[in-house]
């Protein structure tokens, strides 16, 4: 097994996206991630686009659970709970995203698990946190987009109607924050010898994520009313004769390069746009003006002109075009492999590139209970005991 987290065992008790995506990053980096599922499997196996006739795999599930092992147990049965306790004793990290207090009611709260394994890093992912009036609120990504101000950031430029971004950005941002926090806790444990409890709320993660530029006008206390809203402007997608592109003109040299490439040198001296502060204050006027100019040529023509002038620019690709983009192809960012029962699948390669401990190559997501027999055997269960547990429906095994 390769990767900087090789030798680390993670118990993944999560479902949907925020937790599974976080533990998938740990698996990419070499951790042995054991996905503990109920007998019916994670709900995302059957959500969105199903990709196999048995209903065990959806595209979403494959892309948030690759490289893991599956253990399917009924935690409501005493023997099922015993299996999990034995696994916790031998593990480094436990990640769960039940609503607050659920794990305590199941008998697997942080304090109880700490007594089993003092070195355990126990991770609790929640929607809005474990305190406050929203602690018990059922939460999905759009709820957090609305609560965090993210929908306001996406507001339509002229009407200021809030809009949702069409990807589960709160879930995925929380996943990244969680994976990074686990790595930090593992490092701290190397120095202290003991684990700790990590709490990550989606609302907390998104407010932190938004703050640097999206909340800039609220950074200095007392200056809110006089500060410009950096988001009350059109976006930077421009229509050309044959498609769409984006262009950035933050620095003076970039703005001047754009003006020259556009054949509009007089705009360089235009007081509305001649300094970074002026371009910010007149952002909407500048962007609409750029749109009028860029609409006069093809995307390829503009890319050649703007690259020559060293102005940041790119085509705005449709999703189906991304895989064939020359930069994506040159860097081999998309991996293909055979997934049992499904066929050929695509997955992005792990983004971090470790020089000494390379990440694992993307591999299939597990079937429900696919690795149950081997995990139980590793815990010391005899074959006849494993078969008895399967017969009593304490565990679900994947049969050949």
Looking at residue 218, what DSSP letter applies? G
How far is Cα 371 from Cα 368, in angstroms, rounded to an integer?
A: 8
268: helix, strand or coil: helix
Of the pLDDT bands very low, low, confident and very high (cuts 50, 70, 90), residue 91 is: very high
Residue 346, both tokens: 């695509």
Indicate whether 398 pLDDT > 70.
Answer: yes
pLDDT tens-place string over residues 10-66 = 999 999 999 999 999 999 999 999 999 999 999 999 887 788 877 899 999 999 999
Q: For residue 3, what are the CA distances in angstroms to 120, 257, 355?
A: 21, 43, 10
Specify the pLDDT at position 63: 96
What is the overall mean pLDDT for the chain?
95
Q: What percent of the chain has pLDDT over 70?
A: 98
- Look up tokens 């593990």; give the residue: 91
Strand-pair category, 69-73 with 395-396: antiparallel
Specify the pLDDT at position 59: 94
- Look up tokens 């492999």; give the residue: 337
Strand-pair category, 9-12 with 32-37: parallel
How far is Cα 143 from Cα 203, in angstroms, rounded to an integer?
A: 9
Residue spans of the domains in the chain: they are 9-209+334-396, 244-315
Strand-pair category, 244-247 with 93-96: unpaired
pLDDT tens-place string over residues 220-236 = 999 887 766 766 788 99
3-class SS letters over 336-397: EEEECCCEEEEEECCCCCCCCCCCCCCCCCCCCCCCHHHHHHHCCCCHHHHHHHHHCCCEEC
Specify the pLDDT at position 370: 97
Q: For residue 82, what are the CA distances in angstroms to 43, 85, 322?
A: 24, 5, 47
How far is Cα 109 from Cα 215, in angstroms, rounded to an integer?
A: 36
pLDDT tens-place string over residues 327-336 = 999 999 999 9
How far is Cα 130 from Cα 226, in angstroms, rounded to an integer?
A: 35
Indicate whether 353 pLDDT > 90.
Answer: yes
Indicate whether 1 pLDDT > 70.
Answer: no
Specify the pLDDT at position 227: 66
- What residues form DSSP beta bridges with 123? 95, 198
pLDDT tens-place string over residues 179-223 = 999 999 999 999 999 999 999 999 999 999 999 989 988 999 998
Indicate whether 400 pLDDT > 60.
Answer: no
Of the pLDDT bands very low, low, confident and very high (cuts 50, 70, 90), residue 368 is: very high
Who wins on pLDDT, 102 or 21? 21
Could you check whether 9-209+334-396 and 244-315 share the same CATH topology? Answer: no
Task: Enumerate the active-site residues.
Answer: 171
CATH number at 244-315: 3.30.1540.10
pLDDT tens-place string over residues 79-90 = 999 999 999 999
Global confidence as pTM: 0.94
Close Cβ partners of 263 (under 8 Å, ≥ 6 residues apart) = none
Of 3.40.50.2000, 1.10.238.10, 3.40.50.2300, 3.40.50.10540, which CATH number belongs to 9-209+334-396? 3.40.50.10540
């Amino acid at each position: 097994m390769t990767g900087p987290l090789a030798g680390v065992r993670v118990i993944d008790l999560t479902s949907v996206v925020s937790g599974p995506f976080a533990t998938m990053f740990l698996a990419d980096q070499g951790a042995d991630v054991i996905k503990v599922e109920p007998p019916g499997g994670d709900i995302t196996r059957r959500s969105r686009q199903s990709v196999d006739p048995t209903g065990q795999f959806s595209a979403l599930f494959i892309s948030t659970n690759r490289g893991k092992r599956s253990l399917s147990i009924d935690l409501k049965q005493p023997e099922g709970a015993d299996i999990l306790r034995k696994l916790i004793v031998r593990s480094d990290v436990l990640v769960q995203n039940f609503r607050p207090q659920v794990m305590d009611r199941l008998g697997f709260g942080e304090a109880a698990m700490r007594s089993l394994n003092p070195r355990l890093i126990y991770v609790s992912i929640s929607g809005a946190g474990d305190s406050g009036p929203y602690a018990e609120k059922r939460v999905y990504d759009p709820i957090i987009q609305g609560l965090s101000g993210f929908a306001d950031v996406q507001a339509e430029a002229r009407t200021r109607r809030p809009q949702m971004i069409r990807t589960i950005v709160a879930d995925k941002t929380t996943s990244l924050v969680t994976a990074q926090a686990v790595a930090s806790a593992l490092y701290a444990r190397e120095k202290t010898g003991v684990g700790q409890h990590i709490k990550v709320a989606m609302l907390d993660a998104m407010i932190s994520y938004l703050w640097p530029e999206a909340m800039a006008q609220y950074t200095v206390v007392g200056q809110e009313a006089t500060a410009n809203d950096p988001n009350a402007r059109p976006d930077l997608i421009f229509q050309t004769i044959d498609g769409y592109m984006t262009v950035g003109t933050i620095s003076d040299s970039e703005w001047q390069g754009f003006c020259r490439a556009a054949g509009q040198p007089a705009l360089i001296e235009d007081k509305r746009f001649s300094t970074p502060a002026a371009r910010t204050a007149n952002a909407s006027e500048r962007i609409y003006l750029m749109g009028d100019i860029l609409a006069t040529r093809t995307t390829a023509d503009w890319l050649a002109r703007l690259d020559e002038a060293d102005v940041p620019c790119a085509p705005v690709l449709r999703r189906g075009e991304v895989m064939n983009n020359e930069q994506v192809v040159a860097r081999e960012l998309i991996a293909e492999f055979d997934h049992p029962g499904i066929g050929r699948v695509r997955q992005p390669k792990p983004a971090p590139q470790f020089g000494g401990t390379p990440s694992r190559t993307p591999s299939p997501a597990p079937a429900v209970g696919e690795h149950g027999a081997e995990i139980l055997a590793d815990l010391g269960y005899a074959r006849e005991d494993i078969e008895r547990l399967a017969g009593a429906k304490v565990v679900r095994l994947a049969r050949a």
